[in-house]
Amino acid sequence: MCYICGMNSKATFTFWKYQGTGNDFILVDNREFDFPKDDMDFIHHLCDRRFGVGADGLILLENDDLSDFRMVYFNSDGNESTMCGNGGRCIVAFAQELGILKDGASFNAVDGLHQAKVVGEHIELEMIDVEEITAIRNYYFLDTGSPHHVQLVDNLSALNVKKEGAKIRYGIYGETGCNINFVEQESDDTFNVRTYERGVENETLSCGTGVTAVALAMYHSGKTNAHTVTVKTRGGDLKVRFAKTGEGYSNIRLNGPATKVFKGQWQA
């Protein structure tokens, strides 16, 4: 693939690199709306780990009339995507660095309004309510801002996540796709997960909406009775707490670290 053809070679801007349990993002302050966000090839190039900055996705912080800011998220393939939980936590840490907020935030994303608060070095992010979890054969399907397939497996550490995840992502969900989470239970309230993310088309070290989906699906299946669940990813541990409301779930909170890696200047 030619990364030069069709790429906005004149773009010059400051960017920040953040990561949340190994899920890494390029963040850009786009309140002046001068970033070329319609250029998919350029975004794909920026996220490429050999030819660009390297990241699982790119996030723009923009002005919003109804909240502190708007989050616009792109997968590493350059497509604007659905909600990203770890990205949501990272953009709150980024907004704090920019001086937009101190201890808490309200921001808009593609799935609606989110509340978040800074707790030491951690960010606690309110996720959308989940009204339905569907059990199908040996897996569960639910939407936590992004669609997720949750499946219990044995010997998780030995699983070829890229191969098996792609097989399910395309085989069951087609071109639109779905994120695929493979889960192994460690204790009554602790689970290990490895996630194949659509748009990245590979395993990522962590997925915030996926971790949220795992916690809810494991409660729904009766594997845990805890309303605060620890989910261990390859990039670190996250906690999910929630309330059961009728058939659904509300007051869902995703808690974990969000860390600045570095700040840089892109000069093509």
Q: At what angle do helices 85-98 and 208-220 cross, to 10 degrees?
A: 130
Query: CB under 8 Å to 50, separation ≥6 — which residues?
Result: none
Cβ atoms of residues 192 and 184 within 8 Å: yes
242 has pLDDT over 90:
yes
pLDDT 10s digits, 165-212: 999 999 999 999 999 999 999 999 999 999 999 999 999 999 999 999
Angstrom distance (rounded) from CA 19 to CA 25: 6
Provide mean pLDDT across the span 207-227: 98
Query: Which domains does the chain possess?
Result: 12-125+258-267 (3.10.310.10), 134-256 (3.10.310.10)
6 has pLDDT over 70:
no
Provide mean pLDDT across the span 76-80: 95
* 231's tokens: 């989910």
Q: What is the pTM of this model?
A: 0.93
pLDDT tier for residue 247 given thresholds of 50, 70 and 90: confident
The pLDDT assigned to 7 comes to 46
111 has pLDDT over 60:
yes
Q: How do beta strands 12-20 and 259-267 pair?
A: antiparallel
The pLDDT assigned to 10 comes to 59
pLDDT 10s digits, 119-175: 988 999 999 999 999 999 999 999 999 999 999 999 999 999 999 999 999 999 999
Provide mean pLDDT across the span 256-263: 97
For the annotated catalytic residues, the residue numbers are: 84, 207
pLDDT tier for residue 268 given thresholds of 50, 70 and 90: confident
Q: Greatest CA separation found in the chain? A: 54
